[in-house]
Each structure stands twice: as C-alpha cells, then as structure tokens.
Structure 1
C-alpha cells in the first residue's frame, strides 16, 4: 500500500505480501486504541489499519469535525488514501462508526472509487430511519458524570482514566464533540452494493431486535447478522477476537466470502 499520513491512517499490523486489509472506523468518543488489540487476532496475510478522526490522538491539534458531512468527507479521504495502492479490503465500523462506514462506502461508490469487498457494521441500528431516540445514547443533555458512566459501563474507557481529572475532562470533551456530529446525521436514501455483515450484542440496550433485517435492506448484495454475547462492546474476549468472526477476512484465493444474495443469516454465537 502507498504511504499515508500515520496520524490519520494508523497501521496497527503490516504483513509482507498481504492479500487484503481490514480498515476500521472509530466509534463515538473513541479513537484507534480500541483496535490495537486486534493485531494479534488478525488472519494471516491481512493488514490492519485504523482511521483517526480529527481532534484526537495524533490529530489532537486539529479541530473536531463540526458536522456529519465534514467527518464523512474526512473519513472517505482517509479510506481512499489507505487503499490507493489497490488490493482487496474490508471496511469495518463500530457504533457510530458503522453508520460512518456505510456512508463512506456510498461516497466511494458515487465517486467511482474501489469499493470494499465487504462492509462490516457493529452495534448500530440501520440508518434508514434516521436518528431516532434509541440512537441518541449517550445524549447531548447528559451531564459529565452520566457520560463517564456510559463510557465505563457500555464502552471501553480504561479504568485509569476515571482516576485522572485531566484525562476524564479530555474523554468527556471528545465524547461531546462526537455526539454533536452524530446528531447532525441524516439518511440520504442510498444503498450499498457490497456484501454486508452485521454484528450486534445480545444485551445491547441501544440496538433493536430488527437491526439485522433493516440493515439487510440497505444492500443489494448478500447479508448476514451475527448476535454475539454481551452488550455494546460484547464481552472482552469477543471484542478482542472479533476479526475471527469476519468471513471476508479468511476467504480463500482472494475471493470474498458471501451468502446467497438477499439471504439473512442471523446467528447467535457463543
């Protein structure tokens, strides 16, 4: 792959002669750190890249995006740069990042750029209803304590952050910035034309029971829905090994793993 800014597209695993790449987009209030532990779980001959949004990590000095459109343009440019050298890739997004991955896939198609061989969305409702009350968790009206509770209970906020006033302030500022962006989202009516895999947690309070079915209506290709143990980020072990559950990363001979077009495979995994 061609060189890309290491502050925007972070290489978490590089493999000589890689056959495909998993590109990950961040969730609300998150960065690339949550994907670092995936490097050990990646299939052979697969690179792992994560997109860093403005205002965090290596892009800390940049302003936060001020709208969904601005963040989507930034993320689309990052994915385009990360995949410029060609070769198959899978695009993944968790929570808000699932909507972002869907939007980026649509934008790439509209621009005539190479599409991912599969789109994987995790812990998010289908965006065709627009932003509903169910999707506004956490919410702009929540106090700092409520946001920290959400991040520590349903998210991946490290325990040491809660004991550091400066770090908690930064975590809350980042979450509020992403919530403001999320709340400007509108669904434009597009569908994707690539195979779609949906993950959801059996105990996730945010994602509705119809998420897999509704997501299936947003692709013209094959789709599947896997229900995993745990909540918004599943169980720690499931999250750590999530790449193992993406068939498109292990398809033989460079061919994407698909199901028959229009088929929904709703699997409750252990």
Structure 2
C-alpha cells in the first residue's frame, strides 16, 4: 500500500524501513513525485525510494509555493535531513539536478550527513545556466507558450492539455517553479565533494560533451558522465531504468 510519511515533504511509494540505503529523488520544474513512483518496482531490495514533494502540489497542494530558490532549497534540505540516518544517494532531474547539487552543498555547510553519491540528470551545470538553457520558458511567457513547451518536452499529456482545469493547474505549477528557478544564483566556489554521476539525453538541447565538461569542473570527488538515448526525458524504457544508474557503484567504480 502506498503511504505518505509523517514528514509531509517525503513520499515513500513502498516503505522499506529496514533497507540499508535510500534513493532520494528531486523532480523537475513543474513536476511532482508521480514520474518516479514506479521506480519502487525496480530498485534493489536493499534500497528504499524516498521522493521529495515540493510545496504546492500533490500531498502539499495546500502549502504555498516556495517564494524563491533559497526557500525551496531549504525546504528540500529539511526533508533530506530527516532521511540522513542511512546512506543515501541524491538524484535530481533538470531543475532537480541543481537542487540536488545545492542541497548537498548546504548539508555539508550545516555539518549534516552528506549523500553517498550525487546523480544529476538532464540539467546543464548550475554555473552555466545563464549561458545555456535558452530553450527554457520564462514566467512572462503566455499560458499557450508554457503548454506548448510542456507538450513538446513530454511533460503534459493530451488528456491534461484538453482539460481546462487540469491545464490551468499545470500552468500555474510550472510558472511558480520557473519563478523559483529564475531566482537561483550560483555561488562561486560551490563544489560537489561527493562522487558525482551526470546523465544526459543524446537528443537533449545542449551538446553532451559541453555538459559533461561543465559539470566536471565542479566535481571534487569521483566523476563520470553518460549520454543516454532520447531527449530531455530520455526514451520511455531508459527513464524506467534510471534507478540502476543511481543504485549501482558510485562514479569511478564502473558503468552500471
């Protein structure tokens, strides 16, 4: 049975309190926990899947959206701190990749247990966001532009697009997350001090070799990067299989 944990920001599709390690997932701009829930069926038996629900959606629908980047990061940090009793890997996709990077850095500043490894997916390196990522929409864009973007990148189904109320909710959510993302400012000197693995789609919007180079420049621990089939959300079977890239040996120990 699926349950919401006592910490509202953490959703465990299949609770495994005796698991020896945890995979913590941070979603993309405008996203929630739903795209990761089926991963509970494929993670190893010794792994518990913990999905972070940002404010303003799903079980936290009544919680106001984060005001800015720092507020969202601190919300995530608070949720992850409650999971730090076991070794854990921190995974983030797209906007979640920057949140994972910044969350790990903030946990280190606070002296809280850092993740065992950091896996970032579908995102340019945070210090290059002002140079790359021109395909990302802006909060000033019209609803139609945002809907077109979500449809193009596979973030909105035809069912949602054709249902006015659901479409409006999706647009509001995306616009709120875009505002948070636009307020993000990379702090020079911030580093990934745990092993870092970068995943990126072969058909995504930036050249893979440049994305790899940019992330590597922020890595003080082990590092490796892999180009996977598909676009921003990869091919369907690739997305379904992403947990193995998060639960296999850390960077430097070989490809899953």
Task: Tell me the TM-score normalized by structure 2.
Answer: 0.92
Preserved CA contact (<8 Å) 2:120 2:198: yes
After the TM superposition, which parts of structure 1 deviate over 6 Å for at least 4 consecutive aligned residues?
Answer: none
The Cα shift of 1:217 comes to: 1.5
Preserved CA contact (<8 Å) 1:135 1:206: no
The Cα shift of 1:7 comes to: 2.8
SS of aligned partner of 2:177:
helix
The Cα shift of 1:26 comes to: 1.4
Preserved CA contact (<8 Å) 2:216 2:223: yes
Preserved CA contact (<8 Å) 2:191 2:219: yes
The Cα shift of 1:16 comes to: 5.3
- The equivalent of 1:11 in structure 2 is 12
Report how many aligned residue pairs link the two structures: 252
Give yes or no for the alignment of 1:259 onto 2:252.
Answer: yes
- The equivalent of 2:32 in structure 1 is 31
Please say which of residues 233-242 and 201-210 is displaced more in the overlay: 201-210
SS of aligned partner of 1:140:
coil
Distance 2:177 2:169 in 1: 12
Distance 1:238 1:259 in 2: 22
- The equivalent of 2:42 in structure 1 is 41
Distance 2:131 2:10 in 1: 31
**Once the two structures are superposed, what CA deviation does each residue of 1:194-221 show, in whole Å capped at 9, x if it has no partner?**
0000000000115654111111121211
The Cα shift of 1:14 comes to: 2.3
Distance 1:16 1:71 in 2: 26
Distance 2:168 2:208 in 1: 31
The Cα shift of 1:138 comes to: 2.0
- The equivalent of 2:197 in structure 1 is 197
Task: Tell me the TM-score normalized by structure 1.
Answer: 0.87
Distance 1:114 1:138 in 2: 35
Pairing of 1:1-270 with structure 2 (within 5 A): 5-15=6-16, 17-83=18-84, 86-132=85-131, 134=133, 137-189=136-188, 190-206=190-206, 209-246=209-246, 249-251=247-249, 257-259=250-252
Distance 1:186 1:150 in 2: 24
Please say which of residues 143-152 and 102-111 is displaced more in the overlay: 143-152
Preserved CA contact (<8 Å) 2:208 2:227: no
Distance 1:17 1:250 in 2: 19
Preserved CA contact (<8 Å) 1:7 1:59: yes
* Cα RMSD, aligned residues only: 2.0
Distance 1:207 1:151 in 2: 21
